[in-house]
Amino acid sequence: MYDFNYHKPDSIDEAIQLFLGAEDGIYLAGGHTLLPSMKQRLAAPTDVIDLAGIDDLSGIEDVGADLEIGALTAHDEVATSSVVQSGIPALAELASLIGDAQVRNRGTIGGSVSNSDPAADYPAGVLGLGAEIVTNKRTIAADDFFTAMFETALEEGELITKIKFPKPEAAAYIKFPNPASRYATVGVFIARTGSGVRVAITGAAPSVFRSTDMEEALNSEFSVEALEGITLDAGEMNSDLHATAEYRAHLCTVMAKRAVLKLL
Amino acid sequence: MSISVQLKVNGKSVTLDCPSNTTLVDLIRERLELTGTHVGCDTSQCGACTVHLNGRAVKSCTILAAQCEGAQVTTIEGLGDTDNLHPMQEAFRECHGLQCGFCTPGMIMSAVDLVHREPAINEQVIREGLEGNICRCTGYHNIVLAVESAAKKMRN
Amino acid sequence: MVEQSIGKSVLRKEDLRFITGNGRYTGDIDLRGQTYGYFVRSPYAHAVVGEVDTSEAQSMPGVVAVLTGKQVAEDELGGLPCGWMIHSKDGSEMKQPLHPVMAATKVNYAGEPVALVVADSFDEAKNAAEYVSVDYEELPAVVSTAAAQSGPDIYAEAPGNTCYQWELGEKAATDAAIEGAAHVTRYSLTNNRLIPNALEPRAAIADFNRGTEELTLYTTSQNPHLARLILTAFVQIAPEHKLRIIAPDVGGGFGSKIFVYSEETALAWASMKLGVAIKWTAERSESFLADAHGRDHVSEAELAMDEEGNFLALRVKTTANMGAYLSTFASAVPTYLYGTLLAGQYKTPYIYVEVDSVFTNTAPVDAYRGAGRPEATFLVERIVDLAAKELGVDPAELRRKNMIQPADFPYQTPVALEYDIGDYEASLNKALEMADYAGFANRKADSEANGKLRGIGLSCYIEACGLAPSALAGALGAGVGLWESGEVRVNPTGSVTVLTGTHSHGQGHETTFAQLVASRFGISVDDVEVVHGDTGKMDFGLGTYGSRSLSVGGSALSVAADKVVEKGRKIAAHLLEGDVDNIDFEDGEFRLKESNRSKTFQEIAFAAYVPHDYPIEELEPGLAEKAFYDPVNFTYPAGTHICEVEIDPETGVTEITKFTAVDDFGTIINPMIVEGQVHGGVAQGIGQAMFEQCVYDESGQLQTGSFMDYCMPRADDLPNFTVGMTTTVCTHNPVGAKGCGEAGAIGSPPAIINAITDAVGVRDISMPATPEKIWRAIQEQRA
């Protein structure tokens, strides 16, 4: 890694001030996306602002209709939390599938969501559940949050503080992992909510997206058969060494059916 | 930038000045000369650098020393020593769960945390739980047996 | 009496340091005052190197020096040699373009070293490396193995990028047999390129002592003496007696640490030039770029049979990728380690193989676990399987029918090798039983009822290892002998120090060799210490690769141990006042026949070193003997692997439900260690067959340059292994051992592909058989 100024602020305000005052600042949460890219010398921030010193950024709370998860909550905490396991078990399941055990002990939900990696798991859960991303200055709906590959609606220096997940009637997450990186080649999150079915897919395209075709079909009939014959358009999908767009499109339907099966 | 960090490693208090870009594995290997923890890759995947940070298995190559202020770190050297082996260490030997030994410290540290965390230990849980540790020599068969064996002893 | 331990699963002596973090790998060693090296590497696969401006880098903090390939050329260092001369069909020698220690005028693969930065710290060296400015003029890259011969020439001296065009066998007879055959099965195949990725990245520390003019080189080598010979005789770094190479604990090799590479060589040269110790450790991305890769063959094969399915002839044409330069063993791998195994376990009377080895703008390709034999076995065991399917015959029975029978040994194959002994049907039968081959149909029906596909595949492999008889190897082009050294030093107190020229990097020699010697002397395994890996400590040896350590190195120790016993008997005869012919040695005691007089091994040892009451007129004091053992033949491990798979047709995801390996390794010293070698070899075979693939794009950029993209098998990718043994003792070495380190990687890939194609019902699926490939094959099959 190149050299950098290291900071560990006590408060959100201090963190943002440091960020805005830096030549090229970056927030450090779990570090499992940032540090590898700094080691590769792909990222070279002048200032690294470690959020771990800020109270109230981690923790899980059941507030009735929603679960609120602090941005700095580690994946393992979400995966093993009895609150999440009873409130939104699919979210605990999703968190348990991220990376590997060591990664889950460090990686955070805020870090994952703000990075918007096309193959990350959390974006599928956030979008699938219609969550709300609470930052230091506003609340952003999931539908408005993931804008492009590695891009979100967050403004310069804006910090996610927590994510509010409305509890669905039921939800499931099925992941088809990349055998090498263990990221999602395709990950499908299906939630049955009060306002209908939400189908969020990660891994397949440059950014997580909702499949309106699948949502429409499942809203008419929530069954595996309803998804028969639905093939998403491979045209926009990712194609690489590990999976072609065509295969991914196929997997989307297969994984979606398996998610539905889990909910029946 | 130079920073100062104070932490406990294998029960011993340590205070060090180091560059801010020092990773925990650098601190362990280069500053504390505890070379049992190994570096096997540069993409945070191989797990050879696994240590316990505040009791949980982590990849020390992907953590800054700075992030360890006030933390307790246990490396393979702190798990047990030649006179007093941890059951996991013994099990790896008894079950021939190592060949070249390079992945072994990280594998053992991961396995110990696995046994601490998981309510039930069986082949599937072990194989999935050790996803974050690559071994090129053993094919994992004997590693699974070692972890099963150690789990029984550790839970008695 | 100490129980002898041959055949016992003695726990490993080396483990204590590894499980407690007390291993001492090259990267763990620090020398006082050491500097750190970092290599500047070519970003281009093929380019002319113009000006190399190191001035800015040299002025950066902590930098001691920046040395370039141009300076290597000015110092007239030799190139890195290939140690095996291959002649083409027309009698001409293989083309050996200069393999410079660092590139001076041209770079030929992406990642090739161009300069070395030496600095006070690793970070300072790496920082400065970014400021070395190299003028590259990019040239078109030749990347594809199959198309290399029609690409632009990389080297003027190697037209058509052809290194050699080699052949083996009887062309005319083979052609005639195929011409007239009732049935010919044809197979076009690729053996996929792999990257070894031992967990320990390569590393080296070069330490030149100006006062003694000695250079000490710590390196992650499988063969320190061979490395020393190459560095002194060919690269001419230093006189051989002034170079000490130490390979401490080495974290896996699988062949990739046999070779002499640019990095340790450049480090050695730089250390001598600068008079400082220099340490280098590879980052994993460097291992991907610059470790020798493996396999990478494209072949066409034809198997001719009569109406009854008897094999008549096999004809093979292979193009093998050497990469940009000939690595140390490279030329031998697709020739004498490949073509000679094409008989397999079968009586095929006529075989003819042509191999064209080509240069491409990719990393050098050389031996990787199995080295040539996996490539041969994959071809043979796939084409035999295809033949069975074409003829509508059970694949096991077609093989059985053509197998060489026990009575046929020694069996001279049509491809140079003479197999000494084997019982292939015994391993086949045992494997079929252990795999419950007979019950497959029921399991298949169950899978189908659950919407899954199920397949079973076998592979009856043989391999040639225990390299090698020196004269034979020399006649075939080897530049070295392939004997091995072993010294048995009995200490005055009766413990034993064993010195071997082999080098354990995971294989457990410290235990196995101790068992061998301890059993011979009737002493405890704990009283035998095995020393390896340091040219300053033991005689020249050829190192560990090619599954040779026990069969050749162990044999040397066996011969040396016999000499110790012989001398011991003479000492005992003196002490027991008898005739040496009446002295027996058994269970650790020298006994005078027909008396109750005896001396223990320990007493004889002490007497040898304190020769007060001693036959000093006839016998020198001391009790230490050595042997240099040259094997009379290769050894021939063989066996049957059976793989059963269940496939999810919706995704192509394939689970190996059972993998059975039954191997004949001859005499087994430590079953636990042998099984571990099988597990590890099979895991790498599964890696090749289902997960791993090295990919370059058309401009020669490595696409699979990290574990993110190169799929290493993890614990949840692999099944348990069912391992069995049959035994025919090797006829020609004192240990009776054949070697076991590579067989797992040799026998398994065809068994796996045979199983997958069986499940899907397609003729062929290329390696790696990824879920997408399998899914597509299923779609095509259904269409």
3-state secondary structure B55-92: CEEEEHHHCEHHHHCCCEEECHHHHCECCECCHHHHHH
pLDDT recorded at residue C630: 97
Across the interface, whether the CB atoms of C651 and A244 are under 8 A apart is answered: no
> Which residues of chain A lie closer than 8 angstroms to C127, CB-CB?
2
Cα B26 to its chain centre, rounded Å, is: 14
Q: In this structure, what token pair is assigned to residue C223?
A: 């063969």
Sign of the alpha-carbon torsion through C100, C323, C378, C769? positive
CB-based contact, B3 to chain A, within 8 Å:
yes
Q: In this structure, what token pair is assigned to residue A160?
A: 């996610």
Rg (chain C; Cα; Å): 27
Q: In this structure, what token pair is assigned to residue B110?
A: 């991961």
Residues B6 and B72 in one domain: yes
Residue A160's φ and ψ, nearest 5 degrees, are -70, 130
What lies within 8 Å, CB to CB, of C294 at 6+ separation is: C193, C194, C195, C196, C255, C256, C365, C366, C367, C368, C369, C371
CB-based contact, C718 to chain A, within 8 Å:
no
Q: How far apart are CA B92 and CA C260, in angstroms?
A: 33
Residues β-bridged to residue C497: C489, C529
Q: How far apart are CA C126 and CA C145, in angstroms?
A: 34
- The DSSP 8-state label assigned to residue C81 in this structure reads P
Q: Nearest residue on chain A to C650, judged by CA atoms?
A: A254
Q: In this structure, what token pair is assigned to residue A123?
A: 């974006």
Enclosing domain of residue B13 = 2-77
Residues B69 and B99 in one domain: no
Q: How far apart are CA B52 and CA A107, in angstroms?
A: 15
Averaged pLDDT for residues A164-178: 98
Best of C12, C20, C127, C250 to mutate (most B CBs within 10 Å, chain B): C20
Is residue A179 predicted with pLDDT exceeding 70? Answer: yes
Cα A226 to its chain centre, rounded Å, is: 27
Q: How far apart are CA B124 and CA C517, in angstroms?
A: 41
pLDDT recorded at residue C592: 97
Q: Find the helix packing angle between C771-782 and C743-760, rounded to 10°.
A: 30
Strands A132-135 and A160-166: antiparallel
Q: How far apart are CA B133 and CA A187, in angstroms?
A: 23
The CA distances from residue C734 to C470, C553, C730, in Å, are 18, 11, 9
Residue B140 located in a structural domain:
yes
Averaged pLDDT for residues A195-201: 97
* DSSP code per residue over C360-390: -SS--B---TTTTHHHHHHHHHHHHHHHHHH
- For the stretch C587-616, pLDDT in tens is 999 999 999 999 999 999 999 999 999 999
Largest interatomic CA distance in chain C: 90
CB-based contact, A42 to chain C, within 8 Å:
no
Averaged pLDDT for residues C77-105: 97
pLDDT recorded at residue C469: 94
- For the stretch B44-72, pLDDT in tens is 999 999 999 999 999 999 999 999 999 99
Q: In this structure, what token pair is assigned to residue C516?
A: 């061998």
**Nearest-neighbour CA in chain A from C323: distance (Å):** 22
> Which residues of chain A lie closer than 8 angstroms to C776, CB-CB?
247
Across the interface, whether the CB atoms of B100 and C14 are under 8 A apart is answered: no
- The DSSP 8-state label assigned to residue C277 in this structure reads -
Cα C635 to its chain centre, rounded Å, is: 15
Coil/strand/helix, residue A55: coil
Residue B82 located in a structural domain:
no
Averaged pLDDT for residues C264-275: 98
CB-based contact, B52 to chain A, within 8 Å:
no
Strands C484-490 and C496-500: antiparallel
> Which residues of chain B lie closer than 8 angstroms to A39, CB-CB?
23, 42, 61
- Nearest by CB to residue A40, choosing from B42, B59, B129, is B42
For residue C56, count CB atoms less than 10 angstroms from its CB and return exposed for 0-12, middle for 13-18, buried for 19 or more.
Answer: middle
Candidates C535, C327, C281; CA nearest to B102 is C281
- Nearest by CB to residue A254, choosing from C651, C703, C704, is C651
Is residue C508 predicted with pLDDT exceeding 90? Answer: yes
Query: Which ranges constitute the DSSP H helices of C217-261?
Result: 224-229
For residue C375, count CB atoms less than 10 angstroms from its CB and return exposed for 0-12, middle for 13-18, buried for 19 or more.
Answer: buried
CB-based contact, B81 to chain A, within 8 Å:
no
Q: Which overall architecture, per CATH, does domain A58-263 show?
A: 2-Layer Sandwich (3.30)
- For the stretch A50-98, pLDDT in tens is 999 999 899 999 999 999 999 999 999 999 999 999 999 999 999 999 9
Last residue of a domain, one of B77, B105, B124: B77
pLDDT recorded at residue C3: 81
Averaged pLDDT for residues C438-458: 98
Please name the chains neighbouring A, where neighbouring means 3+ C-beta pairs under 8 angstroms: B, C
> Which residues of chain C lie closer than 8 angstroms to A254, CB-CB?
650-651
- For the stretch C284-303, pLDDT in tens is 999 999 999 999 999 999 99
Phi-psi label, residue C140: left if phi above 0, alpha if psi -120 to 50, beta otherwise: beta
DSSP run (H or E) holding C721: strand C721-725
A10 in Cβ contact with B29 (< 8 Å): no
- b/e code C82-94 from CB counts within 10 Å (16+ = b): bbbbbebeeeeeb
Query: What is the distance in angstroms between the CA of the first residue and the CA of the last residue of chain C?
Result: 72
CB-based contact, C697 to chain B, within 8 Å:
no
Counted domains in chain B: 2
- Nearest by CB to residue B134, choosing from C199, C281, C506, is C199
C664 in Cβ contact with C638 (< 8 Å): yes
Residues B72 and B92 in one domain: no
What lies within 8 Å, CB to CB, of C655 at 6+ separation is: C645, C646, C647, C719
User: If you search the block for the tokens 């072949």, which residue do you land on?
Assistant: C299
Candidates C739, C551, C670, C684; CA nearest to C14 is C670
pLDDT recorded at residue A46: 98
CB-based contact, A179 to chain C, within 8 Å:
yes
> Which residues of chain C lie closer than 8 angstroms to B81, CB-CB?
20
Is residue C262 predicted with pLDDT exceeding 70? Answer: yes
Q: How far apart are CA C441 and CA C205, in angstroms?
A: 58
Is residue A162 predicted with pLDDT exceeding 80? Answer: yes
- b/e code C245-282 from CB counts within 10 Å (16+ = b): bbbbbbbbbbbbbbbbbbbbbbbbbbbbebebbbbbbb
Residues B18 and B62 in one domain: yes
**Nearest-neighbour CA in chain B from A206: distance (Å):** 22
CB-based contact, C703 to chain A, within 8 Å:
yes
> Which residues of chain B lie closer than 8 angstroms to A36, CB-CB?
42-44, 62
Long-range residue pairs from C155-161, CB within 8 A, at least 24 positions apart, any chain: C155/C95, C155/C97, C155/C359, C157/C95, C157/C97, C158/C95, C158/C97, C158/C359, C160/C358, C161/C358, C161/C359, C161/C360
- Sheet of strand C583-586, all strands in order from the earlier edge strand to the far edge: C583-586, C589-592, C598-600
- b/e code B40-49 from CB counts within 10 Å (16+ = b): bbbbbbbbbb
Averaged pLDDT for residues B76-98: 97
pLDDT recorded at residue C783: 85
What lies within 8 Å, CB to CB, of C51 at 6+ separation is: C133, C134, C135
Residues B148 and B105 in one domain: yes
Q: How far apart are CA C562 and CA C587, in angstroms?
A: 14
C463 in Cβ contact with C373 (< 8 Å): yes
CATH number for the domain spanning B95: value is 1.10.150.120
Residues B138 and B96 in one domain: yes
Averaged pLDDT for residues A99-120: 97
Count of residues making up chain A:
264
Best of C199, C655, C688 to mutate (most B CBs within 10 Å, chain B): C199
Candidates C372, C381, C373; CA nearest to C334 is C372
Percent of chain C predicted with pLDDT > 90? 99
Which of the four pLDDT bands, split at 50, 70 and 90, describes residue C453?
very high
Averaged pLDDT for residues A21-42: 96
CB-based contact, B66 to chain A, within 8 Å:
yes
In chain C, residues 282-301 whose CB comes closer than 8 Å to chain B: 283-285
- Nearest by CB to residue A3, choosing from B21, B110, B131, is B21
Across the interface, whether the CB atoms of C650 and A254 are under 8 A apart is answered: yes
Residues B66 and B112 in one domain: no
Largest interatomic CA distance in chain A: 57
Domains of chain C: 31-139+200-251+257-290 (3.90.1170.50), 294-467+633-782 (3.30.365.10), 483-629 (3.30.365.10)
Last residue of a domain, one of B51, B77, B103: B77
pLDDT recorded at residue B81: 86
Residues B94 and B123 in one domain: yes
Residue B148 located in a structural domain:
yes
Fold entry, domain A5-50: 3.30.43
Q: How far apart are CA A8 and CA A71, in angstroms?
A: 16
Instruction: State the amino acid at position C539 in one-letter form.
Output: D
Last residue of a domain, one of B77, B111, B138: B77
Residues B69 and B135 in one domain: no
Across the interface, whether the CB atoms of A105 and B50 are under 8 A apart is answered: no
pTM attached to this predicted model? 0.98
- The DSSP 8-state label assigned to residue A154 in this structure reads P
C734 in Cβ contact with C627 (< 8 Å): no
**Nearest-neighbour CA in chain C from B146: distance (Å):** 12
Domain ranges of chain A: 5-50, 58-263
Q: Nearest residue on chain C to A1, judged by CA atoms?
A: C123
Is residue C215 predicted with pLDDT exceeding 80? Answer: yes
CATH number for the domain spanning B10: value is 3.10.20.30
Across the interface, whether the CB atoms of B21 and A52 are under 8 A apart is answered: no
Averaged pLDDT for residues C481-504: 97
Percent of chain A predicted with pLDDT > 90? 98
Across the interface, whether the CB atoms of C709 and A179 are under 8 A apart is answered: no
Q: How far apart are CA B97 and CA C715, in angstroms?
A: 12
C255 in Cβ contact with C328 (< 8 Å): no
Residues B61 and B119 in one domain: no
Which of the four pLDDT bands, split at 50, 70 and 90, describes residue C1?
low
